[in-house]
Structure 1
């Protein structure tokens, strides 16, 4: 059983000058988001997300493209990931293409993706 503290990990913290954005559970959007800092996604999004750090929480569902230095997925994702450090946590359901500089897949994550290391 994993526990998490209230403090975000270093990887999940926004870059200097960036903020923290929250896309609430129950929210739905079709389109593209460009966000400075960290974005936490709990709703449903169909489109492209670009940020310094992206976290798809367990309640979140994203279809489209992700681009960030840090990407953590606990929920559902289908599409293309272009990330630096990519973490797929237990319970994540991911399909599509993953480009990464580092990749961590926890036991319990469901991954049906092609993976390509970059840099």
Structure 2
């Protein structure tokens, strides 16, 4: 879900949390992260994809965000794409936004330039597995 406008940091860096995973905390990934499991907390990456089976409750910060599953909380992104299967509740701050027919969105959407100012996460203290 990355493009030339918002290139992923770390050449072709890709992370994937397995289906059925349950993660709580502040997570930071170089490049793209795919989330088919459950995450509660903050996720920072160059690109975030919540897969159809995925669910996130918290904050997303990325130049590119694609939601196919469920999200509740706050999104701060550059290019944000809500697919037909997306179920989003919360605030969406975006530079560009696309919403496919069938997506459910409840909340406030605001257009603002994406600054890319993701705060660093202390991995030793920032994330834990439930």
State the TM bucket, normalised to the shorter chain: 0.7 to 0.9
Q: Higher strand share goes to which structure?
A: 1
TM-score by length of 2: 0.81
Contact 1:70 1:84 in 2 (8 A): yes
Q: How do 1:1-119 and structure 2 match up within 5 A?
A: 10=3, 14-17=8-11, 19-119=13-113
Between the two proteins, the alignment pairs up a number of residues equal to 112
Structure number with higher relative contact order (C-alpha < 8 Å, ≥ 6 residues apart) = 2
Whole-angstrom CA distance in 2 between matches of 1:10 and 1:98: 20
Check the 8 A contact 1:84/1:101 in 2, yes or no.
Answer: yes
Unaligned stretches of 5+ residues in structure 1 = 1-7
Alpha-carbon separation, structure 2, partners of 1:90 and 1:63:
19
- Per-residue deviation, 1:54: 0.2
Gaps of 5+ in 2: 114-130
Residues 1-51 of structure 1, C-alpha deviation per residue, up to 9 Å, x if partnerless? xxxxxxx66379734435100011101011110000000000000000000
- Aligned-pair Cα RMSD in Å: 1.8
Deviating beyond 6 angstroms after TM superposition, the runs of 4 or more aligned structure 1 residues are none
